Chain A
């Protein structure tokens, strides 16, 4: 049953995304100064990878190494999700034999890694980005096209 509430409302499936939206609601009280979009990097094909190039808008807010480290970890996680190897082939063949009905009860490897990614982004937001007035949006909410970085107005510096 859906529970009524103000912020942090639970969905029927208790999805993490509503938590992120309530976090964004709270952050709305700080005005959004700009948004930066980190694009996909297609040099290795259609695997999900993001560009590690440091955007100039973030120069004043965060350390370049820190940011590149975040994106690199993200890229590694997505590479793990899309890895073609023994385990993914086994999963594919097993699923085929059961006419893919096994996915009704079992989570795919990709979905497991997506949960890991969601946790990683939340962690990064809490520890590193929120104190600097930034917010990373999980790329899955943007169709795995971009990593959206919201830059909030820095009121603490009296701007």
Chain B
């Protein structure tokens, strides 16, 4: 057995991609993010190339200087939003998952045979309001209040707002303020560029006529059209998030209607004061990442040293490919992007069973070795780990969606 040191990000579950040896964390699909980069950089480059020289000379050199500063601020906020950890909650280690299972079993008591056990919900009182905490089958934890599971990234994210494909990442507790500042500064930049483009066209038209102006600077106009349309959407988005911040709500809560309408539960997190809410969300403490992506851990790998030892390795490979060809039953019903996916429930049962049976060091070691489809027989006292199929609420939700 060869032991090598790996960075923890290499062994993190979930569907994130990591760059720069774990310093950068993004979602898997980055296509729309590249489009965002292209649009911003493209529009600004054309503005600086074609319009700024004229404006600097005829109006003021402060105009391009301010535009450059604003551009750098927008890029900094975008990259900060896209590359940082949104507030991902690490999954429960096997011992913690087992502990929670035993607590649930104790609370539920004896469920008569044939009957589904009650849904896994924990009621907590927060600032005088009763809030329900749901159990996440993928991460094996009761989600903290305001956390939600992103099915695109396959992680539970604290204070989950939404998954934004434009920035290629989830927006959560740790990067919400950067996201807001990005939309705000982008609105300002778009308005700024659009305004000065019009000023430029007007000034040139006064001097040399409208048609000649269009002929002189043809390259900018496609991007001005882009600018015009993005202006409305970005300004609208900024307005929407300003409204959410003033009420200390997340997009997720707003969409679900958690604090409005027939539920009649007031938002327990709001300070009931717009200024306090804004200060908390935008100027509150900078939360650290709890993922420890760059920490080192030991990874035991079976290394085949001779031809004979390759055979069990091949057998393992065959088993895993068999498992991949005939995947365990998945729900085909469409899921709302921030609902949990019950897909990982069954394979992870075998994983945690093996890990528990081996009883190695308490430090986290999530192995990416192909797990055997058959569960380990060495477990004795641990209650069977539940899956959503045995849970009343999740199966009801799946049925509703299938309709």
Residues of A at the B interface (CB closer than 8 Å) are 2, 11-13, 15, 17-18, 21, 24-25, 28, 32, 35-37, 40, 42-46, 81-84, 88-89, 91-93, 95-96, 99-101, 103, 108-111, 114, 137, 140-146, 148, 150
Contacts and interface: CB of A to CB of B under 8 A. Distances in A.
A144 B290 contact: yes
B16 to A, nearest CB: 15
Contacts of A96: 181, 282-283
A144 to B, nearest CB: 5
A144 B288 CA distance: 10
B200 interface: no
B112 interface: no
Q: Main SS of the interface on chain A?
A: mixed
Given A46-B144, A110-B286, 4 more contacts: A25-B361, A37-B96, A46-B159, A101-B76
B290 A81 contact: no
Contacts of B159: 46
Interface string B80-123: 10000000011011011001100000000000000000000000
B176 interface: no
B21 to A, nearest CB: 10
Contact of B286 (A24, A25, A95): A95
A93 to B, nearest CB: 6
B273 to A, nearest CB: 12
Contacts of B125: 42-43
12 contacts: A12-B296, A28-B361, A36-B99, A43-B126, A45-B145, A84-B284, A89-B279, A92-B282, A92-B283, A101-B76, A141-B292, A142-B90
A15 B72 CA distance: 33
Contact residue range for chain B? 35 or more
A46 B99 contact: no
A89 B278 CA distance: 11
A42 B144 contact: yes
Contact of B95 (A35, A43, A92, A99): A35
Interface in B120-172: 124-127, 131, 133, 141, 144-146, 159
B326 interface: no
A40 B122 CA distance: 12
B144 A108 contact: no
Given A89-B283, A92-B282, A109-B285, A42 B124 contact: yes
A11 B298 CA distance: 12
Nearest to B8: A17
B268 A103 contact: no
Given A46-B159, A99-B77, A100-B80, A108 B288 contact: yes
Give the 6 A-B residue pairs with the shortest CB-CB distance, closest first: A92-B283, A99-B76, A143-B90, A143-B290, A108-B286, A89-B283
Looking at B96, B131, B280, B359, the one whose CB has the most chain A CB atoms below 10 A away is: B96
A15 B295 contact: yes
B99 A93 contact: no
Contacts of B181: 96
Contacts of A95: 286
A88 B285 contact: yes
Interface in B361-384: 361-364
Contacts of A92: 282-286
B18 interface: no
Contacts of B283: 88-89, 92-93, 96
A148 B127 CA distance: 26
B269 interface: yes
